[in-house]
Structure 1
Amino acid sequence: MTITLKTDLCQILDIEYPIFLAGMAGGPGTADLAAAVSNTGGLGTLGAAYMEPEAIRDAIRKIRELTEKPFGVNLFSISATDDNTRMEEVQSELNQIRSSLGLSPKAAEEVRTPSYFEKQFSVLLEERVPVISTAFGVLPEPFMKQAKQAQIKVIAMVTTVEEAILAEQAGCDAIVAQGSEAGGHRGTFDLTNRPLGANIGTMALVPQIADRVKIPVIAAGGIMDGRGLVASLALGAQGVQLGTRFLTAAESGAHPSYQQRLLRSTEESTALTTAFSGRPARGVVNKFVEFWSTNGIEPLPFPTQNTVTRDIRNESAKQNNADYMSLWAGQGLRMLTSGHSAVEIVKDIIQKAEAILSPE
């Protein structure tokens, strides 16, 4: 078996190296970061799931000002409505945290989370982005058809072999196999009977998916350096997706307190939680996660829980207090570095991978 960094996926997407920036929504994934990864030969991705449509348009245009290379935009492909049935119970718990932050208590009023998906997708079509990636499911058939007609490449995140097969059948050009080590939200399509999502480790998941689909596989979860890249290629992947590795990059939009907490954390620091958004996600355990793991109260479903906790997360950021932020991160935290640019990070990964593949 010959392992090469010039995989077929590089040719399909017109990139130099099989390195993908994860679509980190909510602030960490900036236009500057996406452009830097693309400029260095990988595929930068804008995490746009929470962005208003016109803000996405502005970010896409900024990326294009910074790079002429291909890039992607990531959205949540999910049909979800707010569930206010236990609002009083949940707000009562959240008000305890609000009190500790000096926030006024919130009444148990119904919330309505704006639904932007169709308008977000329309912006991606209008701006003719090179790549659209999705989490929580594949693009619905009408949207997939429009993307194909516009010659946009489509990538979906999956967490099981079954999901990978569904993504291939739906017309995806490639898939991200997200192992349980990965930071942020689990990409599991259907959470029925598995409230924390499917959690198969990257090393077990990637080869099983690669054996059963014909489209390229991108490995994700715990990959932080050239060793992880080479190992993933050996397992049958044609590329790797990294998110946590770029959270402390110079171009990262992650809050300074968030970054500081990551740099003090280890492989034992993270856990899966539904406390912040109502969907399972891996992040560094802090006071917010601990509070919800012991209070016996089930968070509201996504996106309602995400909406009702937003004021707490925002105030925590204003106070430089990482105890109540969502500190999404994977399990490779000891391999994080501080002060390096995305360009330096990508180059280091490639250099170390090449050294493994072609030792002197």
Structure 2
Amino acid sequence: MVVVGGGPAGATAATDLARAGRDVLLLDRAGRIKPCGGAIPPRLVRDFAIPEGILCAKISGARMIAPSDKRVDMPIDDGYVAMVDREVFDEWLRARATAVGATRRAATFETISRDPDGTARVHFRTAREEGGQSVSVRARAVIGADGANSAVAREAVPQRGPIPFVFAYHEIVEAPEAGAADYVADRCDVFYQGKLSPDFYAWVFPHGKSASIGVGSMQKGFGLKEAVAELRATTKLDGVRTIRKEGAPIPLHPAKKWDNGRDVLLAGDAAGVVAPASGEGIYYAMVGGRLAAEAVETYLETGRSKALAGARKSFMKAHGRVFLILGIMQRFWYGSDKRRERFVSICRDADVQRLTWQAYMNKELVRRDPMAHVRIFFKDLAHLFGLVRP
């Protein structure tokens, strides 16, 4: 098996396949770190056996900042949101894959050809430290987990279709000393302000000894770096040392097709599994990687290439409704500062806070307490029609 891409999706797929006794080659382009706030829910920690030492912080709440600069605190009453530094977290996932038997190489995917018997041959170029040579291997199956601009998808799954992107940029900085900035070490700050993002949001997320300051937007040409500079100045984080800077497109809609109907399957950002509105991707990437491994395993055991389509089917059954709701929410509430103001105002509501955290922590829609949903529905209508002050 060849897995292209060593992020959370690819590393998870490689780990699960290696544990199943498969011969796995994990190709990862060294030195690339995706811009990411780094938040992961407790369910991810449980489901994927993430050790405590990998977590760089535990968040006890979030603060939502409206265009008017009104602030709404959303405390987590029971539990926490874990934070990870992607540089450390992704490397740990790749190391776990090799520890259970996967072979890892620093390399860049080039193309897929076919041997006379129809078997896929994966061509890649090794990194300079590995000789910088063009190499090829035969593969019974290929998992493309190589990001939003997946070369594997372009090569083998053109039916993937277009995916809407948010362009994200963040700067990892040293955490300030207590009281030196508008910053709390166990609180995530989310800025819903058009000046910082015309159609998404900006953030300041603690990472223990460091912090992620970032912004996303679907609007081409919007000054992401300028927005981050303004956010750093506003929060008094412009005086702390910058550790590194990263930018990348982030997909916000699952692709229509994840496999080629033969022996190639997509996972993670390549499959478009980042949640709209929130931009959360680590959990969904790892779920997608696990489902990809399961689908490939079924394909290998049965010889039925249709099994590969099971990865998308299973994912959408579990999470498709959440993605649909979040997509609608992003298109409506992020459309103007007037709507953002009302959106942040809604976040004051105790029912909204409780159901939001329950859904986030457990990664499923909360069906208990139907009256809470009814109350939220009518409160939303009141805000929509301007019957309450934001």
TM-score (norm 2): 0.26
Structure with greater strand percent: 2
